[in-house]
Amino acid sequence: MKDRDIALRSSEITIPNVRLGLEDLLAVIHGLDEPARARVAHALVETEMDTRFKDLIAQLAARAPAEDITDTDIDREVQAVRNAWPAGRLRTLG
């Protein structure tokens, strides 16, 4: 597939029983139009962020909870931050 000129301008392609190596896949992605490449990039970033967040959540869940702060303290701090912002812009977020 490397020897072929890949000129894909569609967001859909059907290739039954075809195996692509990484370089082949990258060549296909480079051949996509800009909106399609942006969607590929977004999908990759989204997948990476999902993985990182899952790992972070697992790490945080494994830690012992802080003993010097309560849920009430956290709620009070959240309210203070929301009230400090102009026109209460943060009040609608939670």
Q: 0.75 cut: is pTM over it?
A: no
The dihedral over CA atoms of 75, 80, 86, 92, expressed in degrees to the nearest 10, equals 10
**pLDDT of 63 strictly over 60:** yes
Q: In whole angstroms, what is the distance from residue 41 CA to residue 51 CA?
A: 16
Q: What are the pLDDT digits (tens) for 7-29?
A: 455 556 677 888 878 888 899 89
Q: In whole angstroms, what is the distance from residue 37 CA to residue 43 CA?
A: 10
Q: Which of 30, 52, 55 is nearest to 41 (CA)?
A: 30
**pLDDT of 5 strictly over 80:** no
Q: Which of 3-7, 11-15, 59-63 has the lowest mean pLDDT?
A: 3-7
Residue 8 contacts residue 28 (beta carbons within 8 Å): yes
